[in-house]
Amino acid sequence: MRLDKFLADSGAGTRTEVKKLIQKGMVQVNGETAKKPELKVDPERDVVEFGGERLGARAEFVYYLLHKPAGYVSATEDIREKTVLELVPKDGRRNLFPVGRLDKDTEGLLLITDDGDFAHSITSPKKHVDKKYVANLDGEITDDTIKAFSDGIEFSDGTKCRSAVLECDENDKKTGIVTICEGKYHQVKKMFLCCGLKVVHLQRISIGGLYLDSNLHIGECKLLTDLDKKSVFIGNIH
């Protein structure tokens, strides 16, 4: 395995970040300073250290925050489409899956893990974990739109959405920030359609108190810290 991939998999940073760490001489392999990110290492045999700490201990579960790009489906496999699992480090020993879903053309924060209990605690309707989105629209948000979201929108098939928070800037009424506590299929897009507006671009920016990392480029992922995981369950307004 390449050293930069090993470091990224171990949580030392993104592939771009760990390459810089190696170039700065901050990584040691078997007691010697590593100089090249493409150096081959054997996780079972070689001792890799960063900041005086040995890396590579296998955690019980892993938790990735992915900056999902458009064009990928939120699934573990698909015979026709690219899946979000293609964007996270591959480890055949783990059964990774996306927590909930983002539509194929929706970008932003998506969690990927192999911890079923953690995923359930986020997606269960009883937990009411808030999800926040930025929606760019083909028309302007009005006071009636904001009230409709607050009251709870009902779709044509009878599905009723819980109360949601819609905010917009006075200077840009074609962009709204939506906070929902559910995850119904195409929910945000359908809610706006019920108000006569079409979503032209949608990005999820937070789950609970966990926000999309502004330093994480689209298509990149990073391992969550314990503090990151806890933040998912704080700051909810529902």
| Catalytic residue positions, numbered | 103
Burial class (CB in 10 A: 0-12, 13-18, 19+), 25: exposed
Burial class (CB in 10 A: 0-12, 13-18, 19+), 45: exposed
DSSP string, 29-84: ETTEE---TT-B--TTT--EEETTEE--PPPSS-EEEEEEPTTEESSS--SSSEEG
Q: How far apart are CA 18 and CA 27, in angstroms?
A: 9
Residue 167 amino acid letter: E
Helix/strand/coil for 234: coil
Other beta carbons within 10 angstroms of residue 51's beta carbon come to: 10
Q: Which of 206, 234, 195 shows the shortest CA–CA distance to 110?
A: 206
Alpha-carbon 225 to chain mean position: 14
